[in-house]
Chains A and B, each alone.
Chain A
Amino acid sequence: MDDLRPAAAGAFDAWASARVPALLRFAYVVTGSQAEAEDAVQAALERALPRWDRIARAEDPDAYVRRMVVNAHVSLWRRSRRHESPVPLVALTEGTDPAEQVTTAEAVRRVCAHLPRRQRAAVALRFYEDRDYAEIASLLGCSEATARSYVHRALQALRRELGEDETGA
């Protein structure tokens, strides 16, 4: 494997300083864990670095690396998984007035904490990244119908978390 040429290295550094913070935020939303977000971004950058010259020429580097973050998360998480829960849960009921209204943001957090990983990735891509279902399906390696189903079920879960059932009660 060739070393990264100085021009490509400079281009990579410029891109990284501008875009890595956003990538880390995206990875944090996808993985729900600071450690896993760092691992996923690092793995993506490691793979991208040796071929940066081609990546920068051929396509949108942001999209390419984000795709690699999702792939790294889906395929490599077992090797680096720590003994921790994805996204720390907020104790909504312990020590608080049960009658206190659950805020919507907290409900989103709780729903995400319990979603299977691929479904959580689909939700992050849809609502954090505003990707369409075809893109989500391509990124997750599933059908478009499955991607829609992931998101639909997450919306149902959020509705339940907010205390609304499907019948509108």
Chain B
Amino acid sequence: MRPVHDLEQAFRAGLAELADEADVTVPVVARARAGADRRRRRAALALSGVAAAVLVLAGLSAALLGRHDDTAGPADKPIQPSPSVAPSAPGGYRLEFWHDVAIYVPATWGWGSAPVKGGSDAVLLCGGGQVVQADGSRRVDPGQPYVGRPVALSSHCDAHWSDERPQAPYVWLGGDVPTGTVDLGGGWVRQTTRVGDVTVSVATDDAALRRSILTSAHRVAGACEPRLGTPPAAAGSTSADFVPFSMTVCAYVPSSTRLDYDLAYEQELSMGPAKYLVDAVAHATPLGPSSCFGASGGEWAMLRLRGDGGAFRDYVVDMSCPSIADPSGTQHELGNETVTPWAVGGINAVLHGNPLIDVPYRFIPSGG
């Protein structure tokens, strides 16, 4: 057996050889200059737009409230504007994760359910056709495309989902769906493949879209660990000067064995929500260092904030407590301010709420 030193030398030589393959003639400096110019212009525009935004905020809120009158969420509570979500992938697509598999779907799609095996071994699609919107609200609109996960959005279940022709395309990630192709009639086809242990189903009448989504499915090892053996722990910088430039949201649910936790959702958010969260946690009511000690078997979110120079801060949200813990070990109340920065988009179709979290339009309602 080779000594470790030889293996290390092999890596050094191999990586040096690999490095020589890089094309170093690309005009990356010119591109960076152009990008920096664009950033500066956008920043100037954003600053000049702040005053106008403040003036129209009241009107916008009124409009939003009116729109939400038609949704399943409570309409009598004020809506707190969510910080913006980071830009989606180029071409109008966004990445969606389930366990260790990711796919690209059109950025405008909502989030819903996928079929899952129930206690009687029947495979059910539970959610009553609800589709979660980017702001966390829900809408029953058969015409809206969505990406679904094997999570019950409500106790309203359908056992006859298999041959139903939809009115809009959908993707099911991790559903209990057999692989193969099902002709749903009228040109609609649902095709299911398996990537690792995860099924990916796409139903649409557009063959090109179906191919595009299915071929985008790939296994990943990214910012969020695909599986945790123990609940996540808060970690990283406790400095009051910590300034984040991004936030990764990792949502975990108990695995089928309930011995560990699977990644159910992952999202990259921009500097705005990250800074908002830091400020909100700093001002949130502390619950003490271990008020929820021993909580287990529930759902978790890990919020990894990154700052300059490799600095990072991991907040951990225990949905069953409920609380958000900072790296010092202090747990804080979950409320509007500490939830809305990160609970945007599909995480509201994955994690279950808690009666103690009183934030409109966030998470799957307790009791379905």
Interface residues of A (CB under 8 A from B): 1, 3, 13, 16-17, 20-21, 24-29, 34, 37-38, 41-43, 45-46, 49-50, 67, 70-71, 74-81, 83, 87, 104-105, 107-109, 112, 116-119, 123-124, 126-128, 138-141, 154-155, 158-159, 162, 164, 168-169
Interface residues in B1-34 by Cβ distance below 8 A to A read 1-2, 4, 7-8, 10-24, 26, 28-29, 31-33
Q: Are A79 and B89 in contact (CB under 8 A)?
A: yes
Q: Verify B13–A50 contact, CB threshold 8 A.
A: no
A108 touches B15 (CB 8 A): yes
Check if A45 sits within 8 Å of B29, measured CB to CB.
yes
- Against A, the Cβ 8 Å flags (1 = close, 0 = not) of B216-239 are 101001110000000000001000
Chain A residues in 8 Å Cβ range of B49: none
Q: With a CB–CB cut-off of 8 A, which chain A residues contact B26?
A: 24, 38
Instruction: Flag whether B309 is at the interface (Cβ < 8 A).
Output: yes
- A45 surroundings in chain B (CB, below 8 A): 28-29, 32, 36
**A75 pairs with B306, CB closer than 8 A:** yes
Q: Which of A49, A117, A141 contacts B36 (CB 8 A)?
A: A49
B14, B31, B218 interface centre (most CB from chain A within 10 Å):
B14
**A67 and B309 contact, CB distance less than 8 A:** yes
Determine if B18 and A112 form an interchain contact, defined as CB atoms under 8 angstroms apart: yes
Q: Is B168 an interface residue (CB 8 A)?
A: no
Name the distance in Å between B26's Cβ and chain A's nearest Cβ: 6
How many A-B contacts if CB must be within 8 Å? 155
- Min CB–CB distance B245 → chain A (angstroms): 8
B24 in contact with A20 (CB, 8 Å): yes
A83 with B236, Cβ < 8 A, contacts A29-B15, A108-B11, A141-B312 known: no
Q: A138 near B221 (CB under 8 angstroms)?
A: no
User: B44 → chain A, closest Cβ, in Å?
Assistant: 8
B20 and A25 within 8 A (CB): yes
Contact yes or no, B90 A80, CB < 8 A: yes
B142 within 8 A of A: no
Chain B contact residues (Cβ within 8 angstroms of A): what range?
35 or more
Report chain B residues within 8 Å CB of A139.
Answer: 310
Decide if A155 touches B2 in the complex (CB within 8 Å): no
Contact of B1 (CB < 8 Å), options: A109, A119, A158, A164: A164
B22 near A37 (CB under 8 angstroms)?
yes
25 pairs of residues in contact across A and B, judged by CB atoms under 8 Å? A3-B40, A24-B23, A25-B19, A25-B22, A29-B15, A29-B22, A42-B35, A43-B35, A45-B36, A46-B36, A49-B32, A50-B36, A67-B310, A74-B306, A80-B89, A104-B10, A105-B10, A108-B14, A112-B18, A117-B221, A117-B222, A138-B310, A139-B310, A141-B312, A162-B2
Q: A127-B11, A159-B1 are in contact. Are A77 and B222 (CB under 8 A)?
A: yes
- For the complex of A and B, the 4 pairs showing the least CB-CB separation, nearest first, are A108-B14, A116-B221, A45-B32, A28-B22
B268 lies within 8 A of chain A by Cβ? yes
Residues of B close to A70: CB separation below 8 A: 310
Bound CA span A118–B11, Å: 16
Q: Are A168 and B29 in contact (CB under 8 A)?
A: no
Known pairs A112-B15, A158-B7; list 11 more (Cβ under 8 Å).
A17-B29, A25-B22, A28-B22, A43-B35, A45-B36, A70-B310, A79-B88, A81-B89, A108-B18, A117-B221, A127-B15
Closest A-chain residue to B35, C-beta based?
A46
B28 near A24 (CB under 8 angstroms)?
yes
Which residues of chain A are within 8 angstroms of B216 by Cβ–Cβ distance? 83
Q: Which residues of B contact A107 (CB under 8 A)?
A: 10, 14
Which chain A residue has the least Cβ–Cβ distance from B4?
A: A155
B222: chain A residues at CB < 8 Å are 77-78, 117
A42 CB to closest chain B CB (Å) equals 5
Q: How far is the CA of A28 from the CA of B2 in the complex (A)?
A: 28
Chain B 80-121 interface mask (CB, 8 Å, partner A; 1/0): 000000111110000100000010000000000000000000
Residues of B within 8 Å of A81, CB to CB, are 89, 95
The reply on B39 being an interface residue by CB < 8 A is yes
Cα-based distance from A41 to B35 in the complex (angstroms): 12
Chain B 190-224 against A: per-residue CB contact (8 Å), 1 yes, 0 no?
00000000000000000000000001101001110
Q: Known contacts A16-B29, A49-B33; decide if A128 and B24 are in contact (CB<8 Å).
A: no
Indicate if the CB atoms of B19 and A128 lie closer than 8 Å: yes
Query: Are B8 and A127 within 8 A (Cβ)?
Result: yes
The chain A residue sitting closest to B248, CB to CB, is A75
B10, B17, B86, B221: which contacts A158 (Cβ < 8 A)?
A: B10
CB-CB under 8 A from B88, the residues of chain A are 79
- Nearest neighbor of B314 in chain A, beta-carbon distance: A141
Cβ contacts B293-319/A at 8 Å (1 or 0 each) = 000000000001010011110000000
- CB-CB under 8 A from A3, the residues of chain B are 40
